[in-house]
Structure 1
Amino acid sequence: MSKIRFCLLLFWVGGVLHAAAGYAQSPQKEVTRQQLAWFSYALTLKLHPKWSLTSEIHERRFLNPGRQHQFVLRSQARYALGENWEAAAGFTYFLQSPHDPSATQRLVVPELRPHIQFNYSQAIGRAGITHRYRTEMRFFRNTSSGELAAGYHHNFRFRYRLGLEYRLANLQERPLKLKLSNELHVNAGRNITYNRFDQNRIYTGLSYALMPNLEVEAGYLNWYQQRASGHQFYNRHIVQLAVSHKLDLTGKRKNATEQETR
């Protein structure tokens, strides 16, 4: 229980710092507030007791006016290291529309994003604590005069996410969970001058297992991001709806192998 209290303390400290950064006033500071909705679907295939493959699709939209902000395809292979540790490597194809939903120029800029990741998880009674460490290399398509140009430029980004989930109850023998997370993003690279701090994301939501292998989750995310200028920020209020689907193929592989050996 003391570990849960410690995680809650970290969430509280992160929330205080997040709020202080968001609402601190200075003569030069500019904060743009936006409302969005994020929808996602994730499919995890368990291929082996230690190996799995996860593929995701994300649609992220502004609410006022209603326009696409980002479209994301991500896939990663995951390997169980043991002692509650997991390693992953993957790739993201990212389409970035203008950050201003009212912009008349609607250039969509591709981004290619390979990453490596380590996850650590532990169960404490009805609660679970997760730590996610991710390093990304981000390749942005070049632009010129409002059009896509040849080549890419790149930078690195480091991400750490602390997560806490707590089983509130069982509804029809399936778990209803409260989920909290706080994630910090830090930029690195020669093109980064004023925004080493990239963004912070605080999330709270509820998840419910509709089936043993199918979970739906709804929540709220506050996304606070520093722009490249250093004095301009985005404060985004986001409602999220996510569906997670898991398929265990290890049994099918075992049965197929047994049939082949007969």
Structure 2
Amino acid sequence: MKPCKVSCALLKCLLLFGFQQSYAQTIEHNGWLFWSHQQKISERWQFSADVQVRTADKSEYVNTLLIRPGIGYKIADNQTVTVGYTYFGTWDKESEHKIYEPEHRIFEQFQIENEIQKTEITNRFRYEQRFLDQNNSKAFAQRFRYYVQAQIPLFTNPLFTKGIYLSVQNELFLNVQGKDQVNNHFFDQNRSYAGPGYRFTENIDLEIGYMFRYQIEKETNMRNNILQVVIKTSF
């Protein structure tokens, strides 16, 4: 089976898994604002940066800030390896006080990009080393993430450098080491997303869509209904 067909099959399976009915005890409604940027340094080297701001339930307050810079090297025209660092800070309200819990990560990833009749397929494999600080107690864990996305042109020019498209994606998270420090489960979470996007130029995309996140926690499972706004730039 060709790689592109494998990607499509995996996308369908993971989306079905992500949107399946789950028996979580907690349901939240959140908003995420996400900016992703890639900056070409040379023919093979590139700098990448993600910044994300998230809200608590019903957008009561901002409770998460994520900053993720990385350096990537193209081993082929459609394949990139990247290493980087992630700052992940959360603020949770307890009574009238906010509890700050920082997390620092180192990550390594491998990304493959393919095109099927102008539909852009991205497969990403990411491995994370997580340095957690919870209730003034430090812990270490490692996690594997698999992400697959399809950007499907709807009303665009022939080269898909401008116009409206549909973005569909799924990401699976697995605890490889230190699961007792996280949620006592090998399965960590799954995120499924779909929404329309507009490509202003071949370097700037804007998306607004719905994400469903199902996350296993130590005391209760979490279901998040998320309105996500995504800005993607590359130069």
TM-score by length of 1: 0.79
Deviations along 1:186-206, whole A, 9 cap, x unmatched? 012245263210000101122
Change (3 A) 1:86 1:139: same
- Name the aligned partner's letter for residue 68 of structure 1: V
In 1, the alpha carbon distance for the partners of 2:115 and 2:55 equals 35
Aligned counterparts, 1:78-97, within 5 A:
78-82=72-76, 84-97=78-91
Q: Residues 190, 73 of structure 1: CA spacing in aligned structure 2 closer, same or farther, 3 A cutoff?
A: closer
Deviation at 1:131, TM superposition (A): 0.9
Deviates more, 1:179-188 or 1:203-212: 203-212
Maintained 8 Å contact 1:164/1:179: yes
Choose the corresponding residue for 1:187, options 167, 172, 175.
175
Match of 1:253 in 2: none
Change (3 A) 1:209 1:65: closer
Map 1:1-262; keep pairs closer than 5 Å.
7-20=7-20, 22-23=22-23, 30-64=24-58, 66-82=60-76, 84-98=78-92, 104-143=96-135, 149=136, 152-170=138-156, 174-192=162-180, 194-229=184-219, 232-247=220-235
Give the direction of change, closer, same or farther, for the CA distance of 1:191–1:130 in structure 2 (3 Å limit): closer
Q: Distance in 1 between matches of 2:28 and 2:94?
A: 11
Mapped to 1, the partners of 2:228 and 2:90 lie a distance apart of 18
Amino acid at match of 2:209: G
- Check 1:211–1:124 CA distance in 2 against 1; reply closer, same or farther (3 A cut): closer
SS at match of 2:98: coil
Q: Secondary structure at the match of 1:106?
A: strand
1:252 counterpart residue number: none
- For residues 103 and 82 of structure 1, the distance between their equivalents in structure 2, rounded to whole angstroms, comes to 52
CA contact (8 A) 2:119 2:151 kept: yes
| RMSD over equivalenced CA pairs, Å | 2.5
Q: Once the two structures are superposed, what CA deviation does each residue of 1:177-225 show, in whole Å capped at 9, x if it has no partner?
A: 2111111100122452632100001011222122342221111110000
Question: Relative to 1, partners in 2 of residues 1:50 and 1:72: Cα closer, same or farther, differing over 3 Å?
Answer: same
Task: Please give the alpha-carbon distance, in whole angstroms, between the structure 2 residues aligned to 1:142 and 1:32.
Answer: 21
Partner SS, residue 64 of structure 1: helix
Structure 1 174/83 Cα, relative in aligned 2: closer, same or farther at 3 Å?
Answer: closer
Cα distance change, pair 56–65 in 1 and its aligned pair in 2 (3 A): closer
How many aligned positions are there? 230
Percentage of identical aligned residues: 23
Q: How far 1:165 moved relative to its partner? A: 1.5
Q: Are residues 31 and 205 of structure 1, via their aligned partners in 2, closer, same or farther at CA, if it must alter by over 3 Å? A: same
- Structure 1: gaps of 5 or more residues: 24-29, 144-148, 248-262
Q: Tell me the secondary structure at the aligned position of residue 17 of structure 2.
A: helix
Taking a change above 3 Å as real, the CA distance of residues 41 and 65 of structure 1, as seen in their structure-2 partners, is: closer
The CA distance in 2 between the partners of 1:214 and 1:17, in whole Å, is: 30
- Give how far 1:83 is off: 5.5
Secondary structure of 1:107's partner?
A: strand
Question: How high is the TM-score relative to the length of structure 2?
Answer: 0.87
Give the unaligned 5+ runs of structure 2.
Answer: none
